[in-house]
């Protein structure tokens, strides 16, 4: 193994981390800050990807698709909030689980109804195609660099929004005592609708960005959902900084694990066995890490002081 390869893998890990953050960003807002367990987050991600793919193929422009993904997911989020979520704030968390579980079914089958059962085509825009040479000789896809930039921007924006604005304070206040923030004159209902829609829009945006790298198909949101929860919980719920660092950690550990575990094992067992066992161990790795972290720090790495 060369140093260049190790470095490239490290970069891959970081990039995967930023991508995970981008996927988790909307959830950070809805789950981390508003305190709402939204299992349907992956569905909003899917809505974004489908909207982008459909609009991009109709108009021929990825960028219009990207805007559409934002808008459609926001609209879907707002509708869901108004019709469903709004009635559940003062209920048990568990009711949210059931309701959003139901929403997954509705969104998945609904999307299949509209778009059929075959994966859609969504490709990277011409502007961001190809790879650039990195110092040290390796090549790196431009689009992945774009994802890093988008993720970083979203992280910064969220950090400022939640930590530094009155809007952010109100959202957090609403999380701990909705009735009280209302009694102080803040229209928390409308505010929550807006925030939920924003969270949904971020999910949709991530779905579109990442969808161009992956496959746009029904069910694409589910693995994302679990990963996004993992990321947020490792980082510490409510903390944007935590979510970002949690994402980077998961990204690096996962990438390096997939890459290194089989190689390490190959020192002891025949290569095809090493591949198998290493692969199995690698897929468990981030969950092992999460369990370890929570066993030692039961409230995540950055137990939310604030944002």
Within positions 145 to 174, which residues make up the interface with other proteins, using CB under 8 A?
166, 169-170, 172-173
Segment interacting with other proteins (CB under 8 A) among 61-69, 70-78, 192-200, 281-289: 281-289
Q: Which residues pair with 139 in a beta bridge?
A: 133
245 binds other proteins (CB under 8 A): no
CB 65 within 8 A of CB 55: yes
226 binds other proteins (CB under 8 A): yes
126 binds other proteins (CB under 8 A): no
Q: Which residues pair with 132 in a beta bridge?
A: 140
124 binds other proteins (CB under 8 A): yes
Could you count the other beta carbons within 10 Å of the beta carbon of residue 79? 13
> What b-and-e string marks burial along 12-29, b requiring 16 or more CB atoms within 10 Å of the CB?
bbbbbbbbbbbbbbbbbb
Among 186, 195, 243, 244, binds other proteins (CB under 8 A): 186
**Which residues, numbered 45-74, are part of the site for other proteins (CB under 8 A)?**
none
264 binds other proteins (CB under 8 A): no
Which lies closer to other proteins via its Cβ, residue 71 or residue 141? 141
Segment interacting with other proteins (CB under 8 A) among 71-79, 83-91, 148-156, 192-200: 83-91
Segment interacting with other proteins (CB under 8 A) among 71-79, 105-113, 200-208, 241-249: 105-113
Which lies closer to other proteins via its Cβ, residue 71 or residue 82? 82
Which lies closer to other proteins via its Cβ, residue 63 or residue 165? 165
């Amino acid at each position: 193994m060369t140093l260049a390869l190790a470095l490239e893998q490290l970069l891959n890990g970081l990039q995967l981390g930023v991508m995970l953050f981008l996927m988790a960003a909307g959830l950070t807002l809805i789950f981390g800050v508003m305190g709402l367990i939204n299992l349907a987050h992956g569905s909003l991600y899917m809505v974004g990807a489908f909207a982008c793919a459909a609009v991009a193929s109709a108009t021929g422009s990825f960028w219009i698709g990207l805007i559409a993904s934002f808008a459609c997911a926001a609209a879907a989020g707002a509708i869901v909030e108004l019709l469903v979520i709004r009635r559940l704030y003062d209920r048990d968390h568990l009711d949210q689980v059931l309701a959003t579980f139901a929403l997954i079914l509705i969104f998945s089958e609904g999307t299949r109804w509209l778009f059929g059962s075959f994966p859609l085509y969504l490709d990277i825009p011409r502007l961001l195609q190809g790879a650039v040479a990195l110092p040290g000789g390796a090549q790196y896809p431009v689009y992945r660099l774009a994802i890093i930039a988008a993720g970083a921007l979203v992280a910064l924006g969220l950090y400022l929004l939640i930590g530094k604005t009155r809007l952010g304070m109100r959202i957090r206040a609403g999380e701990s005592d909705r009735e009280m923030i209302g009694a102080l004159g803040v229209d928390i209902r409308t505010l929550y609708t807006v925030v939920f829609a924003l969270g949904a829009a971020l999910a949709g945006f991530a779905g579109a960005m990442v969808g161009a790298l992956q496959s746009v198909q029904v069910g694409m949101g589910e693995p994302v959902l679990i990963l996004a929860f993992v990321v947020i919980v490792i980082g510490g719920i409510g903390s944007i900084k935590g979510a970002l660092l949690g994402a980077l950690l998961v990204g690096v550990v996962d990438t390096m694990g997939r890459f290194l575990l089989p190689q390490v094992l190959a020192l002891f067992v025949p290569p095809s066995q090493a591949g198998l066992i290493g692969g199995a161990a690698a897929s468990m790795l981030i969950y092992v890490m999460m369990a370890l972290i929570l066993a030692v720090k039961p409230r995540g790495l950055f137990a939310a002081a604030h944002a």
